[in-house]
Structure 1
Amino acid sequence: MYNTKLIVVSAVLCLAILAGCARGTLADIQTQNSSLSNERHEQNQPMATEKVDAIANPIAIEPKKTFNDSCHEKEKNDAYRLGAEDRLDILVYGETELSGNYTLDTTGHISMPLIGDVLLGGCNIRQAQEIIKNLYADGYLVDPSISVEVSNFRPFYILGEVKSPGKYDYVAGMNVLKAAAIAGGFTYRANRKVAKVLRYDSYGEPVYHQQILEDEVQPGDVITIPEKLF
């Protein structure tokens, strides 16, 4: 009988000890979780403040120019002006590693060895040659000779009442009627007398024209064939 009581007492003591350990462990875990939560809150708080400050005080970023103002100021004529997606064959005489085929990107720039990015958007061929020559003459080459030719003109776009609207390669001397034929021809709803043409001037500003179908198309034109009035 005595042994049985002793066993029961021992079991109760063990259970009490285990319960105490469990409470201690749980308290430790809660304390650790609370500490981690506080640390996360402290870390996140400055970030939120920084975001608010950034929104309240935005940094002004000047957009990259796409047209060279100096080209327009020097010469106001009807010579073809370079723009995005024009492809150029550029020859630097005596410097084969500098010569090659270059395409104007969407910002009107090309990137050439040594001189880096060159803004040619809005310039004619003669002006482009002069710009490249001056850049290479500035500490790189002695009296460089430069030749620039357009190997592929930028595409034109045709929208509206044609069977296959979209972007197409420019063909020298083409008119609106030819452009419509390239796009699969007119739909039955098309106005076959006039077209609306969006064209960019040498400053990169959009200019809208209304043209008859025999008028010439220029590289980069956005042509819209309207619907006829029934």
Structure 2
Amino acid sequence: MNKKLLIVISLFLSLHSAFSDSTFRNNNSAIKKMQVSQLTSAGIEKEKSLKQIYKLMPMDLLRVEIGEEPEFPKEVRVAADGTVSLPHIRKVAVGGKTLYETEKIITDLYLDGYYIDPQVQIQIIEYAERKVQVLGQVNKPGNVLIPPEENLTLTKAISGAEGLNLRADSHAVQIRRLNTDGKIEVVKVDFMSILKKPDSEDIYLKNGDTIFVPESIF
């Protein structure tokens, strides 16, 4: 862990002991459990293979193979509208689909009058950039990239921003997420509780999330 982050954590542990009473701790514990139930669903999937969990997005570059068919292999990039163009079947909507789902969709389309037994295999050869923003009371505010083929946790994101600074309120970290209905949902997380308990479940982030660390009132 970053040396600065370790120092900041130590300082916050001291502040927490000095200023927190049992009621305050219990309330934050309840808040943390509620957020874990909402935001750790990706954690359930983290043991699955890449083909089961990664959902395609615009700018992903794919390699599509269909046995020994002469038109393949073919490299195609996912367009801004979430589609790819392939021989005969033209545009195929793949955005938001896993590789398994995409292989099945393309297989079914080619079975409809094109190939007798298409053996569709798809690989991602270049990933679109995925990132979150970490703002507020951290040492290096800005974007933190989500590594390809990995999930990004709240702890890793804050570490990627070089940790909390001395003014941070680690008990009230906010995660802001744009929902499918176009509305922004703000969820409050007791980040210090995650750091203090090794067995605590971390929060899994999504592409486009914004993490905001407010200033402490102490």
User: In 1, are the aligned partners of 2:107 and 2:118 still within 8 Å (CA)?
Assistant: yes
Matched, 1:181 2:169: no
Kindly report which structure 2 residues correspond to 1:47-126, keeping only aligned pairs within 5 A, or say none: 80=53, 81-95=55-69, 97-126=71-100
**CA positional deviation for 1:128:** 0.9
Task: Say whether the 8 Å CA contact 2:132–2:143 is kept in structure 1.
Answer: yes
In structure 2, stretches of 5+ residues that fail to align are: 1-43, 46-51, 195-201
- Which of 148, 165, 170 is the matching residue for 1:192? 170
SS at match of 1:158: strand
Give distance in 2, aligned partners of 1:145 and 1:206: 41
1:57-109 per-residue CA deviation (whole Å, 9 max, x = no partner) reads xxxxxxxxxxxxxxxxxxxx975333334444433222364334443233211
> In 2, distance between residues paired with 1:85 and 1:198?
21
- Cα distance in 2 for partners of 1:210, 1:101 equals 42
The structure having more radius of gyration, on CA atoms, is 1
Question: Normalization by structure 1: what TM-score?
Answer: 0.51
User: Aligned partners of 2:74, 2:102: CA distance in 1, in Å?
Assistant: 15
Provide the TM-score with structure 2 as the length reference: 0.54
In terms of mean alpha carbon deviation, does 118-127 or 91-100 score higher? 91-100
Which residue of the other structure, out of 222, 226, 230, is the alignment partner of 2:209? 222
Instruction: Tell me what 1:170 maps to.
Output: 147
- Judged with a 3 Å threshold, the aligned counterparts in structure 2 of structure 1 residues 158 and 147 are, in CA distance, closer, same or farther, namely same
Provide the rounded CA distance (Å) in 1 between the counterparts of 2:61 and 2:80. Answer: 12
Q: CA 1:179 to 1:140, structure 2 compared with 1: closer, same or farther past 3 Å?
A: same
Report which structure shows greater RCO (CA 8 Å, sep ≥6). 2
Residue 155 of structure 1: aligned partner: 130
Aligned residue pairs, count? 152
CA distance in 2, matches of 1:207, 1:85: 26
C-alpha RMSD of matched pairs (Å): 3.4
After superposition, where does 1:3-22 map in structure 2 within 5 Å? none
Q: 1:215 to 1:104 in 2, by over 3 A?
A: same
- Counterparts of 2:164 and 2:74, CA distance in 1: 40
Distance 2:60 2:184 in 1: 18
C-alpha deviation, 1:178, in angstroms: 1.0
Tell me the CA shift for residue 116 of structure 1. 2.1
Report the secondary structure of 1:90's partner residue. Answer: strand
Is 1:132 matched with 2:120? Answer: no
CA contact (8 A) 2:176 2:184 kept: no
Instruction: Indicate the SS of the match to 1:122.
Output: coil
